[in-house]
Amino acid sequence: MTTSTIKKSNEHQSPSRFGSSEGDNTYKSYLVTLDSKQEWDFIGTNLSTTAWVSGRDFEGNGNYTYSSGPQSNQPLFNMFTGQCWGIGPTWNFIHKTNLLYASVICEIEPIEEVYIPSIGTNGGSITINNLSQFNTQTINITFSNPTKQLEKSCNITSKQETSVTCIVPPLSGFHNVTVQDASGVNSTHYAWQPYPPFIKAVYPSFTANGLITLIGDNFGDNTNNIVFVNVSTSNITCNITFATSTQIICQLESSLAEGTKLLPISISVDDVYTRTYKPHIYVTMGATPNAPYIGAIESAEMYQCFSQSLNIIGYESYRFWQGVSYNSNNNSFTRNNGPFKGTISPLNYTSITSKMKEGKNILYNINDGTISSKIEDVRYYTPLITFYTGDTPIIDNITSTNIQNTTQSLVTINGNHFGKDQSYVLISIEGQQCKSPQFIGTDFKQFTCLLLDIVEPLSEYNVTIRVAEMVTSKMVVSKAVVGPESQYDDEYPDKSFATWKIIVIVCLSFLIILVAIILLVVFVFKNRRGSRRAPKRKQSVVVLKTVPIYYGGKVNNIDGH
C-alpha cells in the first residue's frame, strides 16, 4: 500500500500506476477498496490526512459502488437506507468538502490472485472469474474460518473455461478462501468476509434493561455467532438475549442520558462490523413501537398532512425519496421496503414531470404533488419516514408440529396478514422465541420457525406473532412428543414430577396388559388339553371291540367267542 498526492484535472491519470514499478507484471495496484473495519482502523492509525479511496455514485442515484480494483462495480453504500457492503464509517460516507487536492491511497495485489465476491451470511450463488491458470473441470473452492477452525465447501453448479459458479453455504466471520485444482495450482483470498450486518428497522428503547429489537440481514448464520451491539455515540452496550440471521433482541445496559441519541447503532457479528446511522432514515428517534422504513405518499390525506404541516417556504423544490419502484409494463409502482415489500403501491400524485425509468429512485415534490425520476440540482432530498399500520396477523392453526422439550422443534404456522418480508415476523411460543421464520409458498400465509428453547409439552400453546407494531396472540391446540429430560430434573422439578407420573401410568398399563395376556394363555391351554383327551378314550373302546386275535389256530374275538 502506498500514498501519493494528485490533482483533479481533465488529464487521464490512472491511479493503477501508483504503487508498482514500470514494467512489473507481477503485481497490480489500484485505488484502495475499504471493505472492513480492520482495514479502516489500520489506515486511520497510520494516515492522518484526508485521502481519496475507491467509491463512486456512477449514475448519481445515491447507490455507491467500488470504482477500482477487482471489486469494481460491486455495491458499496446506499444513501437512502444506510446499508454499507464494505465499511460505512459515517452517516453519508462522503467528505463534507470537495477538495481539489488530496492524497490517494493505493493497494497492490498479485495479478494472478483470485478475487472471491462477497455474499450474505445466509449464503447464495457467486461467480468467480480470472481462473485461466486453473483446470476448472477439477477445481475445488474451500472457505476456512481460522478462528472457529471450520471448513466449508462451495458447491459448484457451473463450470466455464475461466470461471465457475458455486453456492456458498451459510457462514459468518472472516474466512480464507482457497481455490485449487487437481494438479495443485492454488490461490488463497485471505480475510474474505460476508456482507456486514444491515439494520432495516428498530423497535427502540431508551432506559436501562429496556429491550431493543433490530430487524435486518446478515446478523450471522444461525449458529453460535459472537454478536455485539452498541447504541449511540457513547457506545452504550446492549446485551444480546436473542439472535438469528435476521432478528436481534438486546437489553440496554444503561439508560440514554439527556441529549444522547439512540443512533448510531454498531453491530459486530464474528468480527464483521458495521455502524448504522439511519435504519432506513437518519432521524432523532422517539419512543415508538413502530418499525420505520422508506415509505411512500399513498393517500390524499397523507399528502395533505405533509403539505399543511411542513414549513417549506423558500424550499419549493423540497423532495421526498419514495420507497417504490416503477413498473413500465403496467405503469404501476411496487413497494421496495417494509412488511408489504413487493406489493403494488397506490402512490398518490398529481402528475409525472419526467419520463419514468425502471430501477430509478422516485422523487416526490411535496409542494405540488408531482413525481420524477430525474435527479435535479436540489439540496433538500430526504427519505419519507413510514410507520407500518397494517392488518393484525391472523393465526389459523399449527400443523406439522413436533414440539419436544429437549431438542429443536420445527413449527409450521398457518394464517394471514404476515406481510411479505419474513424478517419482520417475530414469533414466541409459551414466551420462547421461535427463530428463523421462513415463508412457504407464494401466498405468504404459511411459514416455519425453529423453537430451540425448552417448552413444556402441553395440550395447547400460547402463540404470539408480531409484524411491525401489529400483535396477535392465540391459544393453539397441538400434539407434543415427550423426549428424555433427566438432565433437566434438578433445574425443572415440576417437569420431573410430571415425567414420573407419565412413566408410572405407562408401567401400570404394561403390567395390566401382561397379566391379561398370561390369563388368556392359561385359559386357552386348559381348553386344548381337555379337547385332546376325549378322542383318545373313544378310540380305545373301538379297538377293543373290533381288533381280532389268533388263539389255538382259530380266529377268535377278544371276548373268546
- What is the arithmetic mean of pLDDT over 185-202? 89
The pLDDT value recorded for residue 348 is 86
The pLDDT value recorded for residue 253 is 94
Share of the chain above pLDDT 90, in %: 19
More confident residue, 499 or 222: 222
The pLDDT value recorded for residue 56 is 87
Share of the chain above pLDDT 70, in %: 70
> How does residue 546 score in pLDDT terms, banded at 50, 70 and 90?
very low
Which residues make Cβ contacts (< 8 Å) with residue 280, sequence separation at least 6? 80, 81, 82, 200, 201, 292, 293, 294, 337, 383, 385
> How does residue 128 score in pLDDT terms, banded at 50, 70 and 90?
very high
Fold adopted by 292-387: Mannose-Binding Protein A; Chain A (3.10.100)
The per-residue pLDDT for range 398-433, each reduced to its tens digit, is 875 566 666 678 888 999 988 888 888 989 888 888
pLDDT at residue 115 above 80?
A: yes
Q: Over the chain, what is the mean pLDDT?
A: 75
The pLDDT value recorded for residue 488 is 36
pLDDT at residue 300 above 60?
A: yes
> How does residue 141 score in pLDDT terms, banded at 50, 70 and 90?
very high
The pLDDT value recorded for residue 282 is 30
User: Could you tell me the CATH superfamily of domain 198-276?
Assistant: Immunoglobulins (2.60.40.10)
> How does residue 490 score in pLDDT terms, banded at 50, 70 and 90?
very low
Three-class DSSP category at 490: coil
CA angle 537, 540, 544 (to 5 degrees): 145
State the virtual CA torsion across 550, 556, 557, 561 in degrees, nearest 10.
-150
The pLDDT value recorded for residue 263 is 76
Task: Give the amino acid at 195.
Answer: Y
198-276 and 394-477 share one fold: yes
Please say whether the beta carbons of 3 and 51 come within 8 A: yes
Among residues 390, 394, 400, 474, the alpha carbon closest in space to that of 430 is found at 474
* Nearest-angstrom CA–CA distance, 457 and 472: 22
* Nearest-angstrom CA–CA distance, 236 and 262: 9
The pLDDT value recorded for residue 307 is 59
The pLDDT value recorded for residue 114 is 87
- What is the arithmetic mean of pLDDT over 438-453? 87
Least confident of 14-18, 126-130, 180-184: 14-18
Which residues make Cβ contacts (< 8 Å) with residue 181, sequence separation at least 6? 134, 135, 136, 138, 139, 140
More confident residue, 231 or 89: 231
The pLDDT value recorded for residue 501 is 59
Fold adopted by 394-477: Immunoglobulin-like (2.60.40)
The per-residue pLDDT for range 12-43, each reduced to its tens digit, is 333 333 333 444 567 888 998 888 888 888 88
pLDDT at residue 353 above 80?
A: no
The pLDDT value recorded for residue 230 is 94
> How does residue 356 score in pLDDT terms, banded at 50, 70 and 90?
confident
Pick the most confident of 15-29, 85-99, 544-558.
85-99
The pLDDT value recorded for residue 36 is 84
- What is the arithmetic mean of pLDDT over 347-360? 80
* Nearest-angstrom CA–CA distance, 376 and 318: 11
The pLDDT value recorded for residue 493 is 44
pLDDT at residue 291 above 90?
A: no
The pLDDT value recorded for residue 248 is 92
More confident residue, 384 or 13: 384
More confident residue, 536 or 71: 71
The pLDDT value recorded for residue 538 is 40
Please say whether the beta carbons of 187 and 401 come within 8 A: no
Least confident of 55-59, 152-156, 384-388, 434-438: 384-388
pLDDT at residue 93 above 50?
A: no
More confident residue, 294 or 561: 294
Least confident of 118-122, 461-465, 517-521: 517-521
Which residues make Cβ contacts (< 8 Å) with residue 445, sequence separation at least 6? 414, 415, 416, 418
So where are the chain's domains?
1-111, 198-276, 292-387, 394-477, 493-561
- What is the arithmetic mean of pLDDT over 161-173? 93
Pick the most confident of 86-95, 349-358, 424-433, 533-542.
424-433
The per-residue pLDDT for range 194-220, each reduced to its tens digit, is 999 998 888 878 889 988 889 899 999
* Nearest-angstrom CA–CA distance, 174 and 146: 8
Please say whether the beta carbons of 268 and 227 come within 8 A: yes
- What is the arithmetic mean of pLDDT over 432-448? 89
Residue 214 dihedral angles phi and psi, to the nearest 5°: -110, 130
The pLDDT value recorded for residue 20 is 38
Burial of 539: CB neighbours in 10 Å, binned 0-12, 13-18, 19+: exposed
